[in-house]
Amino acid sequence: MKLILSTCLSLFTLVVLSQPGIPEKDYENVEGKVIEWRRDIHQNPELSNREFKTAEKVANHLRSLGIEVKTGVAHTGVVGILKGDLPGKVVALRADMDALPVTERNDLAFRSKVSAEFLGKQSGVMHACGHDTHTAILMGVAEVMANNKDKIRGTVKFIFQPAEEGPPPGEEGGALLMIKEGVLNNPDVDAIFGLHINSQTPAGVIAYKSGGAMAAAQRFVIQVKGKQTHGSQPWGGVDPILISAKIVDGLQTIISRESDLTNEAAVISVGKITAGVRFNIIPESAEMIGTIRTLDYEMQKHINKRMEEMVPAIAKAYGGDASIEIKSSTDITYNDPALVQQMLPSLFKVAGEEQVKAQKAKTGAEDFSYFQKDVPGFYFFLGGMTPGNTESFPHHTPDFMIDESGLLLGVKALAQMSLDYLQQG
């Protein structure tokens, strides 16, 4: 089996190397634009389902290239269709556009100073996960592909997606709504590619995982009900804050004592606890919101079942009541193994084989997974850390930073993959 895979990969590599690529001067011409677009989008971030200016910028750019454009998809999404000079299959490329409710904390000349209301509170807004780079990279891909229509055997569909971080409560959005509104049809997509910048991978490196690459994400809300009393007389009531603490502690035992982590990783994290109004009042209720990350659906079922059993039981043991609601946010990001093997030579061609590295699955999550449920997909990671750095700031933090020297490789990777996939038919 290993010999067969190796032989197939070698044949694909020979085919890719013999095919015409994008002229290097086209990439050189677009690199400065990609960086400029990225900085402008970074300085003017917009939250999920509110990406109005970003969508307008993208749509205007695509139209300037002669690409057919559709706007207002899944609220603020933009879709561009580029038909090559030769008939063939349809490949889709996806970039997400939304920012996060994070206040930026760095000395960048183009740092965000934007603020907006999020869940009833005022917050800074920041591209703290790199979606600004994804959007700028795909704008660059659109330009180099539009300038090389004669090499395209088929159609390229550019998908600029809103609300990857999740739509606001009470709204639909993201990949699911785009799919619901037919983004993978008319023309029907045969395969889809996407990338994610990574602040902890050196610029110039591409990392990937065949099969399950990123976790399924679920959001849970726990409501705890106690009995209000004076803070000086806790025996006169039932403390929902204490119960919440015990629930948090108990939930972690599901991971540490009940989950076979030698099979796949799993995570339960409580990200928000809300309770009380005053220092000397034990409140009547508390609310906890958190996330579950799993890379195996059977493990997910077990974790969900145990959480639903444990939460009310712990509350009852301390004299209170509690309920839990669990909702799915994304599926497992699953890279089609055959498609990965087919496209690795394209990545080798633009990055160098030694700079394309297999990695283990990540417990981060991506709603790109929903596209992959309908069509084969390949989602990979693009290095965004300054080479030689020993540490970097994680995603979703105020200090998150990206080395822009890695952006052009993202343009080259998506363009070459598209070209090769369509050439191979």
388-425: per-residue pLDDT in tens? 887 899 999 999 999 999 999 999 999 999 999 999 97
Would you say residue 94 has pLDDT above 80? yes
Which two tokens mark 214?
Answer: 């990123």
Q: H/E element holding 177?
A: helix 174-180
Kindly report the number of other CB atoms within 10 A of residue 100's CB atom.
Answer: 22
**Residue 217 confidence (pLDDT):** 97
Give percent of the chain with pLDDT exceeding 90.
92
Contact assessment for residue 97 and residue 55, using Cβ atoms and an 8 Å cutoff: yes
Which domains are delineated in the chain? 2-213+331-424 (3.40.630.10), 216-329 (3.30.70.360)
Confidence band of 19 (pLDDT split at 50, 70, 90)? low
**Residue 21 confidence (pLDDT):** 83
**Residue 169 confidence (pLDDT):** 87
**Residue 20 confidence (pLDDT):** 65
Q: Which of 14-23, 217-226, 289-298, 414-423 has the lowest mean pLDDT?
A: 14-23
**Residue 291 confidence (pLDDT):** 97
| 181-194 residue pLDDT tens | 999 999 999 999 99
**Residue 390 confidence (pLDDT):** 79
Mean per-residue pLDDT over the chain, rounded: 95
Which of these is catalytic: 51, 98, 104, 143? 98
Question: What is the signed CA dihedral for 134, 95, 420, 365, rounded to 10 degrees?
Answer: 90
User: Average of pLDDT values for 213-236?
Assistant: 98
Active-site residue, 164 included: yes
| 268-321 residue pLDDT tens | 999 999 999 999 999 999 999 999 999 999 999 999 999 999 999 999 999 999
| 40-73 residue pLDDT tens | 999 999 999 999 999 999 999 999 999 999 999 9
> Amino acid letter at 109?
A
Would you say residue 261 has pLDDT above 80? yes
| 70-88 residue pLDDT tens | 999 999 999 999 999 999 9
Which of these is catalytic: 46, 96, 104, 164? 164
**Residue 38 confidence (pLDDT):** 98
**Residue 391 confidence (pLDDT):** 82
**Residue 16 confidence (pLDDT):** 47
Distance CA 126, CA 35 (A): 17
* 3-state SS, residue 342: helix
* 3-state SS, residue 367: coil
Which two tokens mark 225?
Answer: 């009900």
Write out the E strands in 11-165. 68-73, 77-83, 86-96, 115-118, 121-124, 153-161
Give percent of the chain with pLDDT exceeding 70.
95
Q: Is 205 exposed, middle or buried (0-12, 13-18, 19+ CB in 10 A)?
A: buried
**Residue 3 confidence (pLDDT):** 47
Q: Is 357 exposed, middle or buried (0-12, 13-18, 19+ CB in 10 A)?
A: middle
What pTM does this model have?
0.90
Active-site residue, 98 included: yes
Would you say residue 98 has pLDDT above 70? yes
CB within 8 A of 275, min separation 6: which ones?
A: 224, 240, 241, 244, 283, 285, 286, 287
